[in-house]
A and B are shown apart, each in its own frame.
Chain A
Amino acid sequence: MTGQTGRAFALAVFLLGPASADDIPANQRLSGYDMMGAEAQAMQRDDFANPAMLAVKEGEGLWKAAPAEGRPSCQSCHGDAAATMKGVAARYPAREASTGRVLDLPGRVQACQTERQGVAPVARDSTGLLALEAYLALQSRGLPLASPRARGLEDAASRGEALYRQRFGQLDLSCAQCHSQNWGRSLGGTRIPQAHPTGYPLFRMEWQAIGSLQRRLRNCMTGIRAEPFPAGAPEWIDLEIYLKERAAGMAMDAPAVRP
């Protein structure tokens, strides 16, 4: 590597690096895929063995079907998802320009359902919404997660970082204590991952089902005996934005498989 490219590389690493100096250096970041066993990796790599692809297939059907008689389908506005939805999941949560509200991907789908399609929104963590999320996430597979700070979500990212470092629950643990300071060590027979949300929604073998990032976060909170935030609370979105800032530049591998 010449001196100039070396400096450029160091600058790129610096720019892509995590927001806080005491967090994992950019060149040591590992996704959940990197940290899981070879069998689970093989299951994810084979689109036919990956059970999340069943949700993708269902989501493709929902994308193309009218939600009710005479109502537009997703496809009738957005066209072919493989073209128009490429990279969309990698830059959510996002601020809606017209209203200023910040929506995560399921929130965006629900807003489309109420405002554009004129139907009752499907519930968070329901099979139908997870299927649509999985279909959308697939269109961003292999693309890098975009930095939320770079698209005007600094405030939300800062609130999310405060939550990430906040101690919660009877066990009085913060996210950072496990996922930044003790990643790679054992917790109840599993390795603690670095908490990079590259693969959601994903099929978790422990759940025997496909699930959302919020479900994962709820599990973590009950794990440290804290009361999870209510469903759809803004704290979840702030936390997701910070996690995506922390993982910015990492390739998406959704819809993933995890143990």
Chain B
Amino acid sequence: MATAMILLPRSAIRAGDVVMVKAMISHPMETGFRRTETGGEIPRNIIRQFSCRYAGEIVFSCDFHPAIAANPFLSFPVLAARTAPLEFVWRGDNGFLHREQAMLQVAAS
């Protein structure tokens, strides 16, 4: 089971502001290129895809590859329009799926 952390700016957000959204998830990101002490292959176990939806619309997504470090940390800008949920989804090998949700509070201007 993975643990994820979402960080949104703590200051008040107004419509039209560009806010930095940060998301980190615990995951080993095992490359598939390593071997055990006895020479056996360690199978690949990585996150393959991440997406973030804002009010249901994809505002950021990316693919992951084996060279990405454990516990991937992402930071990306989002144009704030109105108070709406941000939904985060990580998908990976072995059916890995993790969802998080955070409310982006936008003050009436």
Contact = CB atoms under 8 A, between A and B. Distances in A.
B70 A208 contact: yes
B73 interface: yes
Interface string A135-174: 0000000000000000000000000000000000000000
B46 to A, nearest CB: 12
Interface in A34-63: 48-49, 51, 53-55, 57-58, 61
A48 B5 contact: yes
B22 interface: yes
Contact of B26 (A48, A51, A61, A205): A51
A179 B3 CA distance: 35
B3 A57 contact: yes
Contacts of B7: 48
B89 to A, nearest CB: 18
B68 to A, nearest CB: 11
Nearest to B22: A48
B22 A51 contact: no
Contacts of B26: 51, 54-55, 58
B5 A53 contact: yes
Contact of A208 (B5, B24, B25, B69): B69
Contacts of A203: 71
Contacts of B66: none
B79 to A, nearest CB: 22
B92 interface: no
A209 B27 CA distance: 9
A104 B27 CA distance: 28
Nearest to A205: B69
Nearest to B72: A51
A51 B3 contact: no
B29 interface: yes
A58 B1 CA distance: 10
Interface in A15-49: 48-49
Contacts of B70: 51, 208-209
Contacts of A55: 3, 26
A53 B71 CA distance: 11
20 contacts: A48-B5, A48-B22, A49-B24, A49-B73, A51-B24, A51-B70, A53-B5, A54-B3, A54-B24, A54-B26, A55-B3, A55-B26, A58-B3, A58-B26, A61-B3, A203-B71, A208-B28, A208-B69, A209-B28, A209-B70
Given A49-B24, A51-B73, A209-B70, 14 more contacts: A48-B24, A51-B24, A51-B70, A51-B71, A54-B3, A54-B4, A54-B5, A54-B25, A57-B5, A58-B26, A203-B71, A208-B28, A208-B29, A209-B28
